[in-house]
Amino acid sequence: MADSPFYVNWTTQLRKGLLELAILNVLGNDSLYGYDIVRLLSDVDGLVITEGTIYPILSRLRNEEYVETYMEESPNGPARKYYRLTAKGREELRRMNHHWQRLHESIGTLRKERKR
């Protein structure tokens, strides 16, 4: 069955909000360069439709000082730009994860109640 415009719009909006959370989470434990971030997120089913979408978000997160960048020499070519969370980004990620967790649980509870 073809996806309805409503479903397409809903998944697009959901993905848009979740991409920022996903990016901050992949940077939660490690510094990564752009290509690696894209590869990791592309492995999450249904999260990344066009890989290029991630770069404007990374750039915006950097402008808002949630992530910072530094250059590191690469043995395979020119220096690469690495991204890592700032203290501000780490704090925001903690709050976002907490909010997401509560939302996820609440939706789960709603679904269970409807099934009864």
Partner 1 sequence: MIDLTPDAEQRFESYLTRMRAALRGSATGDDVEQSVREHVEVALGGVEGPVSADRLEPVLAQLGPPERWVSEDELPAWRRMMMRLSQGPEDWRLAYGSFALTLLMFVLMPIGGVLLLIPAYLVSRAFVEVLASRDEAIGARRWLVLPPVVIVMAIVTGIALIAPIGAAVSIGLRDLDDMFSTVARMRYDTGFLAMSAGVWWIVLAGIYSIVYRPYRAAFLPLTARLRRGHALVLTLVGAVFAAIGAVLLFVV
How far is Cα 52 from Cα 60, in angstroms, rounded to an integer? 14
Please list every residue from 31 through 90 that binds partner 1, using CB under 8 A. Answer: 33-35, 38, 42, 49-53, 55-56, 58-60, 62-63, 76-78, 80-81
Sheet containing 67-74: order of strands: 32-33, 77-85, 67-74
How far is Cα 29 from Cα 38, in angstroms, rounded to an integer? 16
Nearest distance in Å: CB 8, partner 1: 13
Q: Which is nearer to partner 1, 17 or 108 (CB)?
A: 17
Considering the rule CB under 8 A, would residue 15 count as an interface residue with partner 1?
no
Considering the rule CB under 8 A, would residue 5 count as an interface residue with partner 1?
no
Q: Distance of CA 87 to CAs 3, 22, 26, 64, 91, Å?
A: 41, 17, 15, 12, 6
Positions touching partner 1 (CB under 8 A) are: 16, 33-35, 38, 42, 49-53, 55-56, 58-60, 62-63, 76-78, 80-81
